Structure 1
Amino acid sequence: MCTRIGILLAATAIWIASWTPSHADSTAQPQAMTAPAAVEFLRDYCVDCHDGEGGEAGLDLGSLEKAEQIPLAIQKWNRVADRIADQQMPPIDSDAPSLDQRNAMVDWIRGTIHTAVCDDGVTPGGPMLRRLNRTEYANTVRDLLGIQLNAGHGLPSDGAGGEGFDNAAETLFISPIHAEKYLDAARAALTHAMSDPSDRKSILVSTPSANTSPRDAAEKVIAKFLPRAFRRPVSEQERGQYVDLFEQVYVEDPSFDLAIKFTLEAAMVSPKFLFLWEQPHDEPEPILVSDHELASRLSYFLWASMPDEELMRLADQGKLRDETVLADQIKRMLRSRMDDRGHRRNAKVRAFARSFVEQWLGTRALGREFQPNEAVVGKLNSELLGGMKYEPVFFMEDLLAENRSLLNWIDSDFTYANTSLARHYGVDGTFREQPKYIELPADSHRGGVLGMGAVLAVSSYSHRTSPVLRGKWIMETLLGTAPPPPPPDVPDLEEVVAEDGEKLSLRQRLERHRADPTCASCHSVMDPLGFGLENYDVLGRWRTEVDGMEIDVSGTLPDGTTFAGVAGLKDQLMQRKDAFIRHFTRKMLGYALARQLTNEDQCVVEAISEKVVEDDYRAQTLVLEIVKSVPFQYKSGQEFPSNQDHNDGK
């Protein structure tokens, strides 16, 4: 039992250390470890168990003599660093280094790996080959046909992969049900488009007449439709295949509408439409993606949809890669007009903001997996639900369009609210059903993500708040430092009363809960963070007491730092703002590349983060630097570096 408790305590040490200000922010910096000191560390604390071919777990650490050996086995040394960091090595019952020694060793291993990987340059991923996810499919059909119909409504939902997003290539496979659903969706979408005179005219750019044969008309329709549907120039052979298909159908039933609709349906169930596909190449060296491939990468990153006419025109002209042109296009694509009522108008930017934000913050679960207990919190009407869900989406859209600082996520003097949400927050003013921009007073309890109702709801239980869940959410979502999993037999937080029969507060119950050493290791970190948010109830309403008891919102962090309430918690996050930016950059890069990031991608994350910090944390700088990066602009060949450890991932 003691050994298990010790391991649990040790497993959270590096996680706890993440709430100690980084060396870069500290005036007292520990001495950096040298290679000879690292070798001595291993000999003092590791080689008794891990030496030679017979080392425990097949691990030989006694042979390390110089830093140059580390990059030859990156995967192994990443594991070693992880074990030292979470105090699984050395074992609890053996001589152990100090926390400073332990951190210095971990920093040395990871720094050596980082230098080795990054100094060799970054190897991009392979040519993109992935299915459009349900959101991208719906948006693409909308923009291709000019219709306001959610064509992806009947498709199966997509699971998350990569860095936690549903556009990750590894999860976007095709199943038999997809094939059937895609055909149904294409038929419904084209029927809808053909029934609208304006949409019909934009699709059927030619029809049979006295001087135009059905084949000639079909050729003109197909010649315009296919490059837009396939998002690239189309060869004469490809066009000919669809013209031949049109003629086959037309011979059986001489109806131009029927034959051309069938032909366009065929194009919309083609892998060339359903997949983002890039031309592979056989050389070992990475090459730039083509201009049209870049246009698609850009549009599916920022719009979750197909390139528009301007992007296609620039790609046709070979101008899109010009840095000035690219920067101008990013500004154009992120532009979101705010009308005189404070409402934003850009459906494409909102689609990106919603897709990214709801998955990053977890607010997609609100009203779906997370349903508040009405007996406890009251009925959640649809307007309030919509206002809560769209607040962070409109907030993100605003940051992008206005090129604001990304630190507004930690604290801001504005937000977006509709009538119900404003009433929910106690904000005065004239509102409507659609959220609008509002400036917050200096003493507001809102501002930043920690004051948003949707976030506060999905980080709670359905019937009560949870400092544990909220603290865990802060660590994982804002800083990227997930806590270790709880032991399998962790006891539930039961209703506890004092010896005199008095009911205890949630905080007092949690304090008793973590009196058990098994629980204390994790709760000593998570609980203080969550306590800082206890003034918010399950739906994010402000409160000062629960069941007649005043709420204690003070918190003490593992390094001894104390704070009080959400304002103090924001101050603590601001002291760790660069860690937040690195994690936010990682999430957005993973979303942009639509895949799991590798060790080499982490070099890109670091470089982009530095650029963002230098430019006062501006949102558009982050987007531009991602688009300019090697993984976004290049694709690898068919051969890969001999040292596969460089692409181990984690």
Structure 2
Amino acid sequence: MSVIRNSILAGVAVAAIGAGIYFVPGLLNGQSGPKVTGPPPPPQMRRMTESQYRNSVADIFSPEIKVVGRFEPDIRVDGLAAVGASEASISGNGYEQYYAMAGRIAEQVVSDENWAKYMPCDVPAPATYDAACAEQIISEYGEKIFRRDMKDVTLAEWLQISELAMEKLGNFHAATGLVLEGMLSSPEFLFIMDTVTEGEDGSLELTGHAKAARISYFLWNTAPDEELLRAASAGELDTKDGLEAQVDRMLNSEHVRTGMNAFFEDFLHLDAFATLEKDKLIYPAFNQRVSEDGREQVLRFLDYHLLDKAGPYTDIFTAKETFVTRPLGMIYEVPVRAVEGWEKVEFTEDDPRGGLLSHIAFSALHAHPGRSSATLRGIAVRELLLCQSVAPAPAAVNFTVVQDTSNPEFKTARARLTQHRTDDACASCHEFIDPIGLAMENFDGVGRLRYEENGAVIDVSGAFDGYEFDNVDGLEETLADHPATTSCLVEKMQKYATGRKPQASDIQWINRLEKKFSRSDEKIIPLLREIALSDEFFAVSAPQVPVPDVNQQEAATQTREKKS
């Protein structure tokens, strides 16, 4: 393995320079890199993603409560929607949708058939107002919805809203529904906000409830549960033992699967399945059910290898076991006995299928509607799995040769791309990405296995950062041993957990996470634990207010005076 690793390190430098791509010194080869320090980031405010909203409603009330409506689209920053959430806002139309959803949720919760199920108290008759019952409801749900202590002033405000609603509606259940509607449409619910307090030394610290929210949305992708909120109120999250107890409890829960799936959906851009389309004439077996199952398949695959088997992260590239449904069986050309449900299949060692790159979540997602794409797949490996940037194609590039799959002179993708690379403007980047994608040409545009294209045998050999391989199995083995593969995962996990781009103060933390990830045999749960227990995960500082330049102000004043 060390020979492969050293070969990769030597080759990646040459390939990267040739393609105009650069890396942070030290991060690629596992060295500590530059020791840069700086102030922690300021407190954050992140808009909830659709999955976080749905999970929060299910856990605050019940999975039986239906959430119906359109969500503001997530935006990606630094390749992650979790980072984009820190920069996302809500439009006027978007808020109308959130407000309507809040109303529909509240109606279900306070309905006559559900009231006793969800409410801690009731009144003798609907026309009766009970301030004590209203306070109990607001206190319990307020802490869950707002993810913070219901201070006296906040509680008093919502009690006043409850009383006013009762005056207008004359029905305690309806008035309570209006209060819940207001809470669920409040920015304090729609945005995960850092609340801070001043420490003994005058520095800012996250409150216990803000810590609880960070932990819960990172590990479980949902609102804090009652036990975590209790620990936050009791100050236990401010102690090492208390924090460890809660993190370990959460990591031992089945809910961690939901959290890990949310990370990998973001990491692998699985949201693209929502808009994935294929040419029905070329690929009649590909339909919406296949698309939905393809997304679920890769999550089950990751769960099995990284959680159930507790294997190292790099196993996902070389594993031969996966899960299929009958519709997926049509694509993978394997028999599936059950009409509904999932079956585990194990491909033979000489079969190119099995690893992540052979799943349609990769091969079909990174292809064109009517054909495969070595370039898109190569870019996906470089950018998604190795955290390397690939420059966009130059303007006015002629793709005619690449797109003409029926050209009798260039029958395979390799032949077409070789001809395309005769353009000097395209050569450097394509040499950096195409050999990776060409190794996956045994999979067509929907991920079906093939060995020929237009009657010509497909050549899937190549070289990847200095290491040669014969097929996609060799590529995946190289990828599993590539030093950037694990460092990329750690970097993406750190950005996902914090919801922001890494700062100068994060470099040493990321280096430490990489070393500990390596020492833990590259297993996911220890990495989640290390991040959730890190001081850096909770560190905040006061926003830096720019100091005005007096000279510039005076110059601007003089200019305005001259103009006047």
| TM-score (norm. length: structure 1) | 0.74
Quick one: distance in 2 between partners of 1:562 and 1:116? 35
1:422-474 deviation line (CA, Å, top 9, x unaligned) = 34323445445444554444334333211111210121111111111111111
Alignment of 1:241 with 2:145, yes or no, is no
Alignment of 1:219 with 2:135, yes or no, is yes
Match of residue 602 from structure 1: 507
Query: Secondary structure of the equivalent of 1:375?
Result: coil
* CA displacement at 1:364 relative to structure 2: 2.0
| 2:522 maps to amino acid | Y
1:540 pairs with 447, 470, 473, which one?
447
Quick one: distance in 2 between partners of 1:319 and 1:401? 30
Query: Secondary structure of the equivalent of 2:462?
Result: strand
* CA displacement at 1:403 relative to structure 2: 3.3
Alignment of 1:359 with 2:278, yes or no, is no
Q: How does 1:156-235 map to 2 (within 5 A)?
A: 156-166=72-82, 168-195=84-111, 197=113, 199-209=114-124, 214-235=130-151
Query: Secondary structure of the equivalent of 1:512?
Result: helix
Q: CA 1:131/1:25 → structure 2, altered by over 3 Å: closer, same or farther? A: closer
Match of residue 260 from structure 1: 176
Query: Secondary structure of the equivalent of 2:282?
Result: helix
| 1:472 maps to amino acid | I
Are the aligned partners of 1:132 and 1:172 in contact in 2 as well (CA < 8 Å)?
no
Alignment of 1:590 with 2:495, yes or no, is yes
Equivalent pairs counted in the alignment come to: 536
* CA displacement at 1:311 relative to structure 2: 1.2
1:153 pairs with 55, 62, 69, which one?
69
1:130 pairs with 46, 49, 60, which one?
46
* CA displacement at 1:219 relative to structure 2: 1.9
* CA displacement at 1:327 relative to structure 2: 4.7
Match of residue 34 from structure 2: 115
Quick one: distance in 2 between partners of 1:332 and 1:549? 56
Quick one: distance in 2 between partners of 1:393 and 1:601? 29
Match of residue 575 from structure 1: 481
Query: Secondary structure of the equivalent of 2:352?
Result: coil
Query: Secondary structure of the equivalent of 1:366?
Result: helix
Q: CA 1:455/1:327 → structure 2, altered by over 3 Å: closer, same or farther? A: farther
| 1:584 maps to amino acid | L
Quick one: distance in 1 between partners of 2:396 and 2:494? 37
Give unpaired runs (5+ residues) of structure 2.
548-564
Quick one: distance in 2 between partners of 1:592 and 1:411? 27
| 1:524 maps to amino acid | E
Are the aligned partners of 2:105 and 2:181 in contact in 1 as well (CA < 8 Å)?
no
Match of residue 557 from structure 2: none
Quick one: distance in 2 between partners of 1:629 and 1:335? 19
* CA displacement at 1:550 relative to structure 2: 1.2
Match of residue 309 from structure 1: 226
| 1:551 maps to amino acid | I
Q: CA 1:639/1:549 → structure 2, altered by over 3 Å: closer, same or farther? A: closer
| 2:228 maps to amino acid | L
1:266-303 deviation line (CA, Å, top 9, x unaligned) = 22222222222222457897554232211110111122
* CA displacement at 1:590 relative to structure 2: 0.8
| 1:300 maps to amino acid | Y
Quick one: distance in 2 between partners of 1:372 and 1:169? 30
Query: Secondary structure of the equivalent of 1:415?
Result: strand
Quick one: distance in 2 between partners of 1:438 and 1:324? 43
Q: CA 1:558/1:617 → structure 2, altered by over 3 Å: closer, same or farther? A: closer
1:150-190 deviation line (CA, Å, top 9, x unaligned) = 53632222222254214534432132223322221111011
Q: What value does the CA root-mean-square deviation take over the aligned residues?
A: 3.6
| 1:575 maps to amino acid | D
Q: How does 1:423-502 map to 2 (within 5 A)?
A: 423-428=330-335, 430-431=337-338, 433-435=340-342, 437-494=344-401, 502=409
Match of residue 435 from structure 2: 528
1:498-544 deviation line (CA, Å, top 9, x unaligned) = xx965532221221221233322122222211111111111111111
Are the aligned partners of 1:353 and 1:394 in contact in 2 as well (CA < 8 Å)?
no
* CA displacement at 1:557 relative to structure 2: 4.2
Query: Secondary structure of the equivalent of 1:406?
Result: coil
1:72-116 deviation line (CA, Å, top 9, x unaligned) = xxxxxxxxx9xx957989xxxxxxxxxxxx99x9779x9999434
Instruction: Choose between structure 1 and 2 for higher RCO, CA contacts under 8 A separated by at least 6 residues.
Output: 2
Are the aligned partners of 1:416 and 1:437 in contact in 2 as well (CA < 8 Å)?
yes
Are the aligned partners of 1:350 and 1:394 in contact in 2 as well (CA < 8 Å)?
no
* CA displacement at 1:481 relative to structure 2: 1.4
1:299 pairs with 211, 216, 219, which one?
216
Query: Secondary structure of the equivalent of 1:377?
Result: coil
Are the aligned partners of 1:335 and 1:401 in contact in 2 as well (CA < 8 Å)?
no
Match of residue 613 from structure 1: 518
Query: Secondary structure of the equivalent of 1:201?
Result: helix
| 2:491 maps to amino acid | R
Alignment of 1:551 with 2:458, yes or no, is yes
Q: CA 1:290/1:515 → structure 2, altered by over 3 Å: closer, same or farther? A: same
Quick one: distance in 2 between partners of 1:179 and 1:303? 25
